[in-house]
Amino acid sequence: MKGDQELQIIVQQGKEPNPTVQDERNLVSSSQTEVSHSNTYKRWFRVTLYTFFVISGQSVATILGRLYYDNGGNSKWLATVVQLVGFPVLLPYYLLTIKTHTTTHGDGKTTSLRNRVLVYVVLGLLVGADCYLYSIGLLYLPVSTYSLICASQLAFNAFFSYFLNSQKLTPIILNSLILLTISSTLLAFNNEESNSTKVTQGEYVKGFICTVGASAGYGLVLSLEQLAFCKVLKRQNFSEVMDMIIYVTLVASCVSVVGLFASSEWKTLGSEMENYKLGKVSYIMNLVWTAITWQVFSIGGTGLIFELSSLFSNAISVLGLPVVPILAVIIFHDKMNGLKVISMILAIWGFTSYVYQHYLDDKNLKKSHGIPKKESPNPPEAEGSSGHSK
């Protein structure tokens, strides 16, 4: 009987974990939790930094573009060129951060060089034309009106994603589309003059149409990029997206430079610089910093794609648009009348609806896949445009 009791005690002791092993397990678990929290904090620090880059880069670049026109600049093609030619600034960022991002291939298939070049050329032509339309809109419209119209890019993005990326048009998305459409349409009846440059009724309409067209073009480009990643390039990783940005911008830059020389606007640049109200140095610095700030915007947008999603990146760029009208009232003394205030409120409402739908989609996706809500320390793969809600 005593032997049985001793045997039972030995068996029970064998079942109980060694105190030293248990302590080691607790220590490892505690260490992993601390690392997870540290990675989460670092990730959200990067998200905050990239968000600052998007909002500040976009706002400053738009203000500098308006400043160029208000002080004697008149070349629409030069204004287009400076939006694009700063892309070499992205190369150091590309080289420094490529090792920090996971490179996951899609189905392992390689894309033919011909198809890859075709994608870059087509998208580059569209981006070049899109930037030119933006330049015309900024020339003829008050910067506050211009920025509010640009908010419609979210609506166009959702519209094209429905046809090209199979995005579902839920009631919340439809609500967002209607609000953003009304927001932009109201400004069509807001005929006003920029304080420093008088525009005719025809020029105002031209600026309005070009800005709406540019916003539509931007939404189309985002949807086509997602389609290209899914159907042609077959991959969605850091290297692939950076290649897309750099090569597409290279093609668009070539298009804008060709347009500058084909339009003969380059012949007037010398006299334009001589007669610039703020002086030659200010003229050059305006162009240089406009190019740099647009690339700061690109870095922030690309960073947000990899930390969260491309929808969040696009939504933050729209969220930053109301900042520009406020700065325009302070710097250029633009009038913020009742129609603009209503338009801004509707744009923010539409933006909020759009992001809320993304939140619901993401929540349902986590539930369906049984993914816990705990933040992953590793940044997710790049999603495409908002068709995969970006």
Listing DSSP states for 115-138 in one string gives: HHHHHHHHHHHHHHHHHHHHHHHH
* 190 touches 201 (CB < 8 A): no
Q: Does the pLDDT at position 253 exceed 90?
A: yes
- List the end-to-end C-alpha distance of the chain, in Å, as a whole number: 72
Indicate the residue type of 198: K
Of 311, 347, 354, nearest in space to 170 by CA: 354
What is the pLDDT at residue 28?
A: 52
For the record, the structure tokens of 257 come out as: 């430079």
* 215 touches 145 (CB < 8 A): no
Q: Does the pLDDT at position 356 exceed 70?
A: yes
What is the pLDDT at residue 193?
A: 53
| Phi-psi label, residue 349: left if phi above 0, alpha if psi -120 to 50, beta otherwise | alpha
Indicate the residue type of 163: F
Q: Does the pLDDT at position 37 exceed 70?
A: no
Of 290, 272, 281, 259, nearest in space to 64 by CA: 290
Q: For residue 101, give the DSSP letter.
A: S
Q: How far apart are CA 159 and CA 167, in angstroms?
A: 9
Name the CA radius of gyration of the chain, rounded: 26
Residue with tokens 């325009």, as numbered in its chain: 328
Of 123, 130, 73, 88, nearest in space to 256 by CA: 130
Of 373, 372, 377, nearest in space to 37 by CA: 377
What mean pLDDT is reported for the chain? 78
Q: What mean pLDDT is predicted for residues 69-83?
A: 93
Q: How far apart are CA 267 and CA 255, in angstroms?
A: 18
What is the pLDDT at residue 290?
A: 94
Q: Does the pLDDT at position 368 exceed 90?
A: no
Q: How far apart are CA 186 and CA 180, in angstroms?
A: 10
Q: Which residue would you say has higher pLDDT here, 115 or 195? A: 115
* 242 touches 96 (CB < 8 A): no
What is the pLDDT at residue 225?
A: 84
Q: Does the pLDDT at position 375 exceed 90?
A: no
CA 225 to chain CA mean position, Å:
13
For the record, the structure tokens of 85 come out as: 């030619």
